[in-house]
Structure 1
Amino acid sequence: MKNGPTRKRGDSAKFVYQHLRESIICLELAPGELLDEASLSSRFLMSRSPIREALIRLSMEGLVHTLPNKNSVVAPLGLDTLPDYLDALELIQRLVTRLAAQFRTEDDLEFMRAKQIEFRNALAQADFALMIDSNREFHMAISKAARNKYFDFLYSRLLDDGKRMLYLYFNSFFEGVPDSVADEHDLIIDAIENKDADRAETLAKAHAIDVATKFLNYLNDRHSTDFDIRVKPRDGQS
């Protein structure tokens, strides 16, 4: 991060939040790294109050953990529980997509398509941070159509917890993220529009498994002297 970045007056907490969030998601700030309020205050040239507000907001997204001594650190990636996370994400994604096909309205479809356009625009710009946010918004548009606030809450948290994993997934495409990633979204929208719940669920499952498989393969091929991020594939995956 650069020292003393430009910001608008009265928008300090939001600026710090956005800056730290992008640095965490893009792994510029490593898992477990200390986020000292005094150091951040000096870096951003502002008081501790907006720094603290930004850290609280990041902790609500699961990107920052507050320690018993009140210090904050970048949340770990949680690779030890990765198989459980991927199972939960796949199941909830299948469920909300199936329900969306059953209960969607024309307004829901319009909202999904708008979010899909945003994702394609981010894809065209090869902007990983924007792709992660627009991907989340697309899937949450589907979740809203499912009409279940409990599933919506759970799906939202799972997507937030997986933001850094999704960054690594996008980064695994060494020649750029292919359009096929967005094409899968279009197929899901078509199934939801046709109220074909079985096909919608099948596509959602395939989409989740494809992301999980590529991500696991990326981790297993990755070598780092800083920390070991290699994990074993789940049963049935290579």
Structure 2
Amino acid sequence: MTADKKTQCLEDMRMRILTQEIAPGSDLDEATLCERYAMSRTPMREILQRLGGEGYVDLTQNRGAKVASMDLPVLRTFFQTAPMIYANVARLAAENRRSDEIDGLKDIQDSFRRATQSGDAAKAALQNHRFHLAMGEMAHNPYLLPSLKRMLIDHTRLSQTFYRPASADESLRVVKACDHHDAMIVAIERQEPGLMVDLTIEHWNLSRDRLERFVSPDPLPIDVLPMKDRENAV
């Protein structure tokens, strides 16, 4: 088993989880995965252990592996925690960035904008993931970065909704999100931590209600009868 093959498998599984090709809470059958990726159980278990350590997978003794869930307690913690982590990462990125890190962030932003303009929700969510992860690396804080990485897993899975706009207003929000990224890059270049925090909170608020729709989706359409008519319905 080559290191490259294991790396490709690891990366592919990350992407499949982030795009929800493998749904939250899904069982991960070792035999099926081994067949798909043409590898034996030992390297596959190593990959699952790695994914478990990163927060993509939950490993339970004698019960195998599952994709990390997105149940209500998890999402409640996510919505409580995300603004705090993003704001602190943003401030530190502006304070601690190195000049040689800016071009990489700009390249990611170019890919992000192209993905949103093409309407590719999965790619847009992944490029947004890369953008905020790059900012986390620019913060150069070994305590915040692991928390950011774990949070981005759930944010990326949730944000599939945001990047599938269903109205003109929602489309404008996606455009605004792109503009926020551009403004963040400028603020980081100029090392303006206060502005970065303001932009980050505005950026979070722009998508928060759309992310919450993952938890509370629109009701299914039904033919509602007036209550007095319903009383006599069989």
TM over 0.5: yes
Contact 1:41/1:48 (<8 A) preserved:
yes
Call closer, same or farther: CA 1:167–1:193 in 2, change over 3 Å: same
CA apart distance, 1:222:
4.0
Residues 68-116 of structure 1 deviation map (CA, whole Å, 9 limit, x = unaligned)? 1051112211332323212211111111212222333432333322221
Q: Which segments of 5 or more consecutive residues in structure 2 lack a partner in the other structure?
A: 221-234
Call closer, same or farther: CA 1:68–1:141 in 2, change over 3 Å: same
Contact 2:187/2:195 (<8 A) preserved:
yes
Question: Matched residues, percent identical?
Answer: 30
Q: Give the 5 Å matches for 1:124-203.
A: 124-171=117-164, 173-174=165-166, 178-203=174-199
Name the structure 2 match of 1:28.
Answer: 21
- SS of residue in 2 equivalent to 1:221: coil
State whether structure 2 residue 54 is matched by structure 1 residue 58.
no
Name the structure 1 match of 2:226.
Answer: none
Contact 1:25/1:167 (<8 A) preserved:
no
TM score, norm. by length of structure 2: 0.77
- SS of residue in 2 equivalent to 1:55: helix
Name the structure 2 match of 1:94.
Answer: 87
Which residue, 198, 204, 219 being the options, matches 2:200? 204
CA apart distance, 1:140:
2.6
Call closer, same or farther: CA 1:49–1:168 in 2, change over 3 Å: farther
How far apart are the structure 1 equivalents of 2:32 and 2:139?
A: 44
- SS of residue in 2 equivalent to 1:149: coil
Rg (Cα) greater in structure = 2
Residues 154-184 of structure 1 deviation map (CA, whole Å, 9 limit, x = unaligned)? 222221343212223324x236963322111
Name the structure 2 match of 1:106.
Answer: 99
Contact 2:56/2:68 (<8 A) preserved:
yes
CA apart distance, 1:56:
2.3
Call closer, same or farther: CA 1:41–1:222 in 2, change over 3 Å: farther
Residues 14-70 of structure 1 deviation map (CA, whole Å, 9 limit, x = unaligned)? 343344333322323232222111232334444223432332232233121111105
**Superposed CA RMSD:** 2.9
How far apart are the structure 2 equivalents of 1:105 and 1:204?
A: 20
